[in-house]
Structure 1
C-alpha cells in the first residue's frame, strides 16, 4: 500500500465525483463506474493519441483515489489532512467555532472530559467574551451549564450572553460587519510580488452552523426565552461563605473545596457520572469557571511569589481533571496568569490542562500604534493542544493567530502582514563604508573579479 505521506495532495473525492460524506460502498460504486469508462482496454483504436494519454492519466488518478478512500485507515488520515488544510487557509472565523475546531478530533468539538484553559488578557476584556461564547454554545445545543465565579453572579453572566445568528441571516450580518472593516488596500491589485496572487485568498466566509458551531451577535443579548428554557447551575463564591468558618488543616483553600464539592454533587445528582449511566437521554455538562486563581477565590498566588497556598491551585486542577475524566462534561477556565508571581506554578497549571490558549491584548502596548497590527486588537498564543490517548500531540502549522473585535463579531484570523510597498531599498550595497569596501576587495578579489562590492 502506498504510504500516506507520499501521496500528492489532490481532491480525491472530486476525482471520483463523490461527496466527502459518502460511504465506502458509494465510493466503490463510483470507482467501478469510472474504471469501466476510462480503462485503456475499453478505448477504441480510433481514439487520438492525445485523448488516449488523457484517459490513461485519468485512469491512474481514479486508481490512486480508490487506494486512498477505499481503505478505512488511509481515508481517515486523508480526511484529517483535509480538515487541517482548511484551518491553515481559513479566513476570519467566529471565535467559538475556531476554538472548538482547534481541538478537533473525529466528530469535532471540545473533547468530553477535558479542560480548556484561557490565559486572560491584561484587562480581562476579550477572555470574558470567549467565556460567554462557550456558555452561549451550550444554551443553543441544549447542554446543562455550571457557571462558577467569585466576581460576578452567574445569573448576571447568563443575561449578558450574545444572541445567536441563524443560518438565514448569518451570512448577511457577517458580510455587513466585514464590509465595514475592510481595508481599501484589499481591492488594489498587487503590482509587486505577483506570485502572492496565486496563494489562497484570506477572504472571510462563515460556514453553515448545521455543520459545526454557531455564530453570535455581540451587539444583542440572547433572548430571555432561551435562557429560561436552559438548565443551569450557579456557584457564586461570596454567597457560599459562611459567617462562622471552621478552618480545617487542608492544602486546598476554602473556595476550592466548596467549588469541588458543588461540581461533584451536580455530576452525581444529575447523572453525568460515567460510571452511572443517565436514566434519560444523555447530555453534556458545560462547566465554566471564571478568574480562577485570583485573590477573590481566597488564593494568594497573585500576591506574592512565596505564597502559603502554592499547591492549592494545582491540587484543585488535579482533582477537577479526575472528575471530568469520569463524567460527561467539558470545562473552560479563565485565569489571570499575568498576575501569578511564581512562574513554576504557571508551568504546573499548563501541564494539568488539556488545551491552553493565551490572549495578548494590544491595549496599552507599543503594538497598539504599530501600523503592522492596525487591523487587529490582539494576538492568540497556542500554548498547548490536547494529547488524548497519544504519547505526543500534533503540532499545527498555524501558530500565528490574531483576533479583532468588530461591531457584531469577535473573529480569529491567521496573522498575515501586508506586503512592503515602500520605494526604499531595504539593503543597499552603496552605503558600505570605505574600510569595509577595501576589506571586501582584498578578501574576495578573486571571487568578485576585483570588484569592490559583492555581486549577488
Structure 2
C-alpha cells in the first residue's frame, strides 16, 4: 500500500521542514514569519502566532481587564527571548507595569507541584479549544526557563528583573500628551531598528500600546487624529520585522471610529468576561466553572496573499 504523501504546492511553503535558527521566530506560509503571542493555545488558533509586520488590535471588555493577560504574556514572551520591547500606556509611570509581567512556569519535573499550579493558574477559556484534537503544529512550547519559541507563564510569579533591566525595553507615557506626534516618533525610531531591507532576520521587535484612546489621553476626542496614527503605524509595521499589539476600549469610542479601527487591524481579538450562572453557555463549554473569560478571534492576518484584510 502506497504511503500517504503530504500535498505540497509550488505556491506554498512546507512549514514542517522549515526551521529558524532564532528560537523566537517561526516560518509560516507565503514567506511569512511568526513570533509567539505568549499563549500556546492562541498561537495554534492563529496558525503559529503573530505575523511579523502585522498590527494586532485587542478590544477591551469594559466589565473586566482580561485584555491585560494577553498584553502581559505578549510582553513577557518577548523579554524572555531577548526581543526589544517598546511599551506605551496612559500611566504616569509605565515602567512600573513591567513588575506585573508573569514569569515562565517551572519545569514539569515535579508532577505534583505542576498539577497544583495548573489548577490554580488563572486561565482564559478559549472558545474554540474543544474543536482541536492532538496538536498538529510544532510550536516548541516550553514550560521551563529555556528561551524557546513559546513559554507557559505562571501568572502568580513576577518576571525576574534582569529580563527588563537592560537597554532592550523602552517605556513611554502618553497620559499628558496633547497629540500622538511624540508616540509616533518613538514608534518610528524603534521600528527603524528592524527594517526588512537588511535581508536576514537577526531579531524581532515588539510594540505594546495599552488602552489606546482612553479618556486619560488628551487626544481621545480627536477621532481622525487617532485613525491617522493607527494607519501610519500599520504602514510602518509592514516594512519592519516587528509586531504591534494595541488594546483599545471600543465602548468609549463613537461606533464609526471603533469600526474603522477594527477594519485597519491585521489581527483582531476581543476578550470578554464570562457572565455568572449562564446556563446556556455552561452547556456549550467544558469546564465552565473554571473559566473566567472568552477570547474571540474576529480576524486573522493574511500577509503576502491576495486576500483582502
Question: Structure 1 length normalisation: TM-score?
Answer: 0.52
Q: Give the whole-Å Cα distance in 2 for the aligned partners of 1:298 and 1:218.
A: 32
RMSD of Structure 2 on Structure 1 (CA):
3.4
**1:295 aligned counterpart, secondary structure:** coil
| Distance in 2, Cα, partners of 1:201 & 1:282 | 32
- C-alpha change, 1:75 and 1:387, in structure 2 (3 Å) is closer
Match of 1:283, SS? coil
Instruction: Flag the 1:389–1:141 CA change in 2: closer, same or farther, 3 A.
Output: same
- Structure 1 SS opposite 2:188: helix
**2:258 maps to which residue?**
346
Report if aligned partners of 2:267, 2:301 keep a CA contact under 8 Å in 1.
Answer: yes
Residue of structure 2 in register with 1:381 after alignment? 296
The one of 209, 223, 245 equivalent to 1:289 is: 209
C-alpha contact (below 8 Å) 1:350/1:384 kept by paired residues: no
Aligned to 1:99: 42
Give 1:282 shift. 2.4
Conserved 8 A contact 2:81-2:148? no
Distance 1:146 1:172 in 2: 38
Judged with a 3 Å threshold, the aligned counterparts in structure 2 of structure 1 residues 74 and 159 are, in CA distance, closer, same or farther, namely: same
TM-score (norm 2): 0.74
**Cα distance in structure 2, aligned partners of 1:337 and 1:74:** 38
DSSP 3-state at the match of 2:150: coil
Q: Structure 1: which 5+ runs fail to align?
A: 1-58, 81-93, 182-198, 242-253, 302-308, 395-456
Q: Deviations over 1:179-238 (max 9, x none)?
A: 569xxxxxxxxxxxxxxxxx9699xxx974277410111111111222224611111124
The aligned counterpart of 2:127 is none
Question: Which structure's CA Rg is the greater one?
Answer: 1
Contact 1:139 1:230 in 2 (8 A): no
Does 2:176 match 1:176? Answer: no
Label 1:96 to 1:326 Cα distance change in 2 as closer, same or farther (>3 A): same
Contiguous gaps of at least 5 residues in structure 2: 18-36, 122-131, 283-287
1:321: how far off?
0.8
Indicate the structure with greater helix content.
1
In structure 2, the CA distance between the partners of 1:263 and 1:78, relative to structure 1 (3 Å rule), is closer
Alignment partner of 1:349: what SS?
helix
> Aligned partners of 1:355 and 1:174: how far apart in 2?
33
Give the drift of 1:266.
2.5
Q: How far apart, in 1, do the equivalents of 2:12 and 2:261 lie?
A: 37
Change (3 A) 1:158 1:169: farther
Of structures 1 and 2, the one scoring higher in RCO (CA 8 A, sep 6+) is: 2
- Equivalent-residue separation in structure 2 for 1:177 and 1:168 (angstroms): 10
Mapping for residues 115-194 of structure 1, pairs under 5 Å: 115-151=55-91, 153-169=93-109, 173-179=113-119
In the alignment, structure 1 residue 310 sits paired with structure 2 residue 223: yes
Counterparts of 1:180 and 1:222 in 2: how far apart (Å)? 18
Contact 1:127 1:334 in 2 (8 A): yes
Describe the superposition over 1:338-391 as per-residue Cα deviations: whole angstroms up to 9, x where unpaired. Answer: 222x212122111111011111113xxxx3122424332122221111121223
Q: How many residues align?
A: 266
The partner residue of 2:269 within 342, 345, 357 is 357
Counterpart selection for 1:272 from 183, 194, 206: 194
- Decide whether aligned partners of structure 1 residues 173 and 100 sit closer, same or farther in structure 2, where only a CA change above 3 A counts: farther
